[in-house]
Structure 1
């Protein structure tokens, strides 16, 4: 009986540690620094992300860098959600700030709708910063 209890306690302890280790390698919205904009590989600010601080007319060459699903993949045409910790911004379907877009207010996070996995540029609306 004692051996069974010890095995059960060890199994429970191991089960409790697994989520802690899995979470440690997971990027989330809190990883996005103030006055920056983060693209996330998955919806609901999940998976790997990449952080930008300026408008970008063409997201080619940017990759998801943080740990998580999508790490190493291109940001262009692969982002599903965002966190905006800076000025209001638009994510555009096309390069050079054109085509359908998603508006992301200051200090908001969102799943992309008009540019879900079809995002090519980012433009900050700096005159709207308070």
Structure 2
């Protein structure tokens, strides 16, 4: 009788531990959702219009070729290709992000410090083709 109670208790502990690990693992991926049109902490956003207006492409990881991305979400620019189509940005990440006027870190490089937001300069307005959360070249 006593061994059955101990065995059931151990089974319950093992099951609860496995369930807890699954919940923790699932929570990590949900926090890192990207390219969903909602700019969250630890993401870098490219906006279709100046002054952080219109649709936003939110990046958690680097993107070497924005030609295969479209602005998600809502607002003006929704569905448009991101490459050479972003007029402002917001770096909600804790690290510097780098943007390039060419894909695969080609062309002119610009850097955006953590928590920076604003309109793209004349060099980068509607010219950004790739973005990295590390210096790519």
| TM-score of the aligned structures, taking structure 1 as reference length | 0.69
- Map Cα deviations across residues 71-112 of structure 1 (whole Å, 9 max, x no partner): 110111100001111121111000111221321100111211
Return the match for 1:33 from 37, 40, 56. 40
5+ residue gaps, structure 1: 1-30
Runs of 4+ in 1 over 6 A off after TM superposition: none
Aligned residue in 1 for 2:125? 116
Counting matched residue pairs gives 96
Compare CA radii of gyration and give the structure with the larger one. Answer: 2
Q: Does 1:61 find its partner at 2:68?
A: yes
Aligned residue in 2 for 1:27? none
CA contact (8 A) 1:102 1:112 kept: no
Aligned residue in 2 for 1:49? 56
- Of Structure 1 and Structure 2, the greater strand share is in 1
5+ residue gaps, structure 2: 1-37
Alignment of 1:1-130 (within 5 A): 31-86=38-93, 87-113=95-121, 114-125=123-134
Aligned residue in 2 for 1:12? none
- 2 CA distance for matches of 1:107 and 1:56? 19
- How far is the alpha carbon of 1:56 from its aligned partner? 1.2
Aligned-residue CA RMSD (Å): 1.3
- Map Cα deviations across residues 5-52 of structure 1 (whole Å, 9 max, x no partner): xxxxxxxxxxxxxxxxxxxxxxxxxx4200001110000100111111
CA contact (8 A) 1:104 1:110 kept: no
- 1 CA distance for matches of 2:48 and 2:110? 16
- 2 CA distance for matches of 1:110 and 1:90? 14
| TM-score of the aligned structures, taking structure 2 as reference length | 0.66
Aligned residue in 1 for 2:10? none
